Amino acid sequence: MATASAPASVRKVRSLGKTITAKEEGITRETVLLIVGAAVAAVLWVIGVLNYLGTLNIPLRPGEASGANPALDFLALGLIVLMAPYGVAMTQKLRRIAKIEERLPDFLRDVAEAGRFGMTLPDAIVVASSGRYGLLTDEIKKMASQLEWGVPVATALRLFEERVPTPLVQRVVSIVTRANEAGGNVADVLTMVAHDTREAQLAEQARKISMLTYVTVIYIAFFVFLVTIYIMAAIFLPQMITAGVSIGASGLAGGPVALAYNFVPILFLAFMVAVLVHAVGDGIMAGILYNGRVADGMVFATTMVVTGWVIMRYVVPTLNVP
């Protein structure tokens, strides 16, 4: 009965609180993709192990016998399934948040300008919500609607912070909330926060530009590694096999001249493993250097794994020892 007789604004605040609590207790779409990707990757890796042991024979290249090559194929597919869905979904989410943050200084300046005309902070937010701030517009309109319903400004700001949980938004909301509670000229505080936010965004853009050089170097080094392997597989290693066969046919294999050409296929498999390890490690490092996030690194790593696997399995010549 107490809830039914409460004012509409109080009931609205309680419902908003329940909504946020339910959202926090639930599992995000990105987490679901990561869990499903890990499960599918585990199945693919088990199939790869069974191919290596000879229990199964499911080659991706027609006519290929079971062994190390099909096992490495399923290893690469498992890595792709594990990293690609989560990396792409998380990157899209973070890019959306970045676009929301991009217009945050403009909104703070408009709120500050409205406050200079004697408006309170809630009224200034409602007036500024009529502007256009890109993807931030929907979040501002939600906050303005909550204020019009009678939700306290501190609660509306907290709900905005929970919808856009980034360090920048959290810092801005914390400063604005404390300034509003302390009283005084909130417009000056908003102006300084807007300026500081814009400076932080410019610093982040400058850091990305400077790190782009290192990311380019990582990509170039990876593709140079692939080209080196191709040259060795196309020119050097076949000559090594031919020379070893000639030495064996001439009867000199047991003498002072010997060439262990039988290990060439094993060396080629080692190259394949090295390509996959470099692709995952270099890709994640590139993402961390560029954006400071593992999710972007998973996207880079997926690109490298796909490129390296396709080149090694379908472009680089297959080496067979007679």
Closest CA to 304 of 322, 285, 278: 278
> Residue 132 — very low, low, confident or very high, per pLDDT cuts 50/70/90?
confident
* Residue reference for tokens 């102006």: 191
**Per-residue model confidence as pLDDT tens digits over 20-79:** 433 444 588 888 999 999 999 999 999 999 988 888 888 877 777 777 888 889 999 999
Inform me whether the pLDDT recorded for 191 exceeds 70.
Answer: yes
d(CA 220, CA 104): 37
Average pLDDT over residues 188-194: 86
Say whether pLDDT at 16 is over 60: no
- 59 in Cβ contact with 65 (< 8 Å): yes
Q: Is the pLDDT of residue 18 over 60?
A: no
Instruction: Inform me whether the pLDDT recorded for 2 exceeds 70.
Output: no
Percent of the chain with pLDDT over 70: 84
pLDDT at 6: 43
Annotated domain spans of the chain:
27-101, 104-198, 203-247+258-314
